[in-house]
Amino acid sequence: MALNVTYPDSNGRIARVAGSNILIPPDNAGIGDIVFCLSGADPRNPSNLKVIGRGTNSARTATISNSTYYRYGVIYGFINGQAMVVADTDDNSARPAEQSKKWSTNSSVSIGPAVTTALLRNGNKHAYAAMNMARTYDVNSNYTGTTLHPTSAWTPGGLMSYSTFTGSNGATARAMYGEGLAGYYNYLNQVARVNGAPGTCFGITWDDATYGKVKVFDVGRVMTKLLHAASTSAYPAANFCATYTVSGTGESAGNWWLPSMFELGELMIDEHLNKVNEGLILDISNSAIRWSSVRCDGGGAWYYDGYGFSGYNGFSYEIAARPVTLLKLV
């Protein structure tokens, strides 16, 4: 049967028609592809999963080989031989995959480790590290600085705006990073981009009494379990994710978690998020604030700040929590 196509997309690939349900072999799955689970089945068993190409499905269910499959989530990365999957939502929002929740109703929390800095690509540590460059560019007119390649920590206000970069005061910057919009994005990437190194909020690891050595890819899962075990009500963001299930499948609670900053960082990378949003029914906004499971200190936790950067805030703020998981596809 001929492939139903429309036109080449911005990357020169053929754009498939939503609803055509192009099946992808699981070992060829990519970022933005959609994972479906057989009706009533356990998604932890790879034999119950199908992968449909990004942009070729916009429905809650798909009929594959005369069987019903339910949309489970969208791939946003790969690590440790597993697909990193973010929760989706159905057509009528009866199965909300993102809710505004407090991180904690307690004013002081000591569960899990705490880290106070991110690490920039230039080697400096600071609370602000760019996670989504498109959003960073969106708000660039607010920048009033002239930073080129800082030798000390900075704030987003220390960055130069695009107008400064392309103006008479940006000649040195253009000589370093290139001309025009491409040069400005290169400037932002070199000066502000996050580096997920060990010991920072993006690269946290620790030895846990219950779970042993917690590696970077397992931080969100373990922190969510620790918080949920401590209280089923005091940690609303983590508990929402810990109890999240996909209706139509046979899964029980405990398969999803509040993402770590590493996981949020992978999700919010521009080229990842753009592909993910091709597969989601409702887009993930790069201007929305969302929690991570990583503490900053006894009174606050890290989050994506809605302006393209990392940051941290007090536990009592209600901001978005969106579950993620890891899946073996083969």
* 311 domain-assigned: no
Contact 279, 34 (CB under 8 A): yes
* 110 domain-assigned: no
Average pLDDT of the residues of the chain = 90
Judge if 143 and 77 occupy the same domain.
no
pTM (global) more than 0.85: yes
Tokens of 104: 């904690």
DSSP string, 192-231: HBB---BTSTTB--EEETTTEEE-GGGHHHHHHHHHHHH-
* 280 domain-assigned: no
Q: Using CA atoms, how far apart are residues 83 and 265, in angstroms rounded to an integer?
A: 15
Strand pairing of 14-16 and 61-64?
A: unpaired
Judge if 79 and 148 occupy the same domain.
no
With cut-offs at 50, 70 and 90, classify the pLDDT of residue 44: very high
pLDDT of residue 157: 73
Residue 288, C-beta contacts closer than 8 angstroms, at least 6 positions apart: 306, 320
Tokens of 160: 């130069």
Convert 297-315 into a string of H (helix), E (strand) and C (coil). Answer: CCCEEEEECCCCEEEEEEC
Judge if 20 and 74 occupy the same domain.
yes
What domain count does the chain have? Answer: 2
* 254 domain-assigned: no
Of 192, 209, 232, the position where a domain reaches its end is 192
* 94 domain-assigned: no
Conformational region of residue 306, where left means phi above 0, alpha means psi within -120 to 50, and beta covers everything else: left
Of 52, 87, 122, the position where a domain reaches its end is 87
Domain that holds residue 39: 5-87
Segment 93-109 mean pLDDT: 88
* 61 domain-assigned: yes
* 203 domain-assigned: no
Contact 120, 193 (CB under 8 A): yes
Contact 124, 114 (CB under 8 A): no
pLDDT tens digit string along 271-310?
999 999 998 888 899 999 999 999 999 999 999 999 999 9
Tokens of 287: 């201007």
Helix (H) or strand (E) holding 63, with range, is strand 61-64
Torsion of CA 54, 56, 58, 64, to 10 degrees: -110
Q: Using CA atoms, how far apart are residues 22 and 17, in angstroms rounded to an integer?
A: 9
pLDDT at position 77 over 90: yes
Of 25, 56, 87, the position where a domain reaches its end is 87
Alpha helices in the chain (DSSP H): 133-138, 162-166, 171-177, 180-192, 219-230, 236-242, 261-268, 270-279
Dihedral sign computed on CA atoms, order 268, 272, 273, 274:
positive
Segment 79-84 mean pLDDT: 96
Judge if 79 and 22 occupy the same domain.
yes
Strand pairing of 82-87 and 34-38?
A: unpaired
- Residue 233, classified by CB atoms within 10 Å of its CB into exposed (0-12), middle (13-18) or buried (19+), is exposed
Amino acid at position 161, single letter: S
* 288 domain-assigned: no
Segment 67-86 mean pLDDT: 96
More confident residue, 122 or 226: 226
Torsion of CA 87, 92, 95, 97, to 10 degrees: 30
Judge if 142 and 80 occupy the same domain.
no
With cut-offs at 50, 70 and 90, classify the pLDDT of residue 69: very high
pLDDT at position 112 over 70: yes
Contact 90, 61 (CB under 8 A): no
Q: Using CA atoms, how far apart are residues 11 and 283, in angstroms rounded to an integer?
A: 20
pLDDT tens digit string along 114-151?
999 888 877 778 888 899 999 999 999 999 888 887 76
